[in-house]
């Protein structure tokens, strides 16, 4: 992806210096990913969480919402571009921690039933 597109769209809400470093460090996709065969997605049998980036220009936010709904994911929305885990790391950490707590609670309940 050209640097101006990366910095101006993909990571537009990231500090420009950091976004330029992110651009420089990006790697091209390995062509083998197009040949890999996936099994059943984990979200079909496990609890899921989704961080919707409402200003995303790489994946339409409505598509993100549709993905999350299809997954049955607990969803949090943040006013961010495509990399909210960088530009809004506090919201991402809160979501990760909530997911970890809920997964731990579910595991504790499963253990109690066994």
The pLDDT assigned to 105 comes to: 83
Range of the domain at 23: 3-113
The pLDDT assigned to 18 comes to: 96
In tens digits, the chain (114 residues) has pLDDT values of 899 999 999 999 999 999 999 999 998 888 988 998 889 999 999 899 999 999 999 999 999 999 999 999 999 999 999 999 999 999 999 999 999 998 888 776 666 655
The dihedral over CA atoms of 8, 52, 80, 94, expressed in degrees to the nearest 10, equals: -140
Exposure b/e, 35-60, CB count within 10 A at least 16 = b: eeeeeeeebeeeebbbbbbeebeeee
Kindly state the DSSP code that residue 81 receives in the 8-state scheme.
Answer: -
CA atoms 45, 51, 57, 60: torsion sign: positive
The pLDDT assigned to 103 comes to: 86
Domain count along the chain: 1
Beta-bridge partners for 19: none
The pLDDT assigned to 114 comes to: 56
Residue pointed to by tokens 């299809």:
70
pTM of the model: 0.81
Beta-bridge partners for 53: 78
């Amino acid at each position: 992806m050209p640097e101006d597109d990366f910095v101006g769209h993909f990571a537009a809400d990231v500090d420009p210096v950091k976004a330029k470093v992110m651009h420089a460090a990006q790697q091209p996709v390995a062509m083998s990913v197009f040949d890999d065969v996936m099994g059943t997605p984990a979200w079909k049998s496990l609890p899921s969480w989704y961080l919707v980036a409402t200003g995303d220009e790489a994946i339409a936010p409505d598509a993100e919402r549709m993905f999350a709904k299809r997954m049955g994911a607990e969803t949090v929305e943040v006013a961010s571009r495509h990399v909210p885990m960088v530009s809004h790391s506090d919201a991402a950490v809160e979501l990760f921690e909530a997911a970890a707590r809920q997964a731990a609670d579910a595991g504790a309940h499963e253990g109690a039933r066994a």
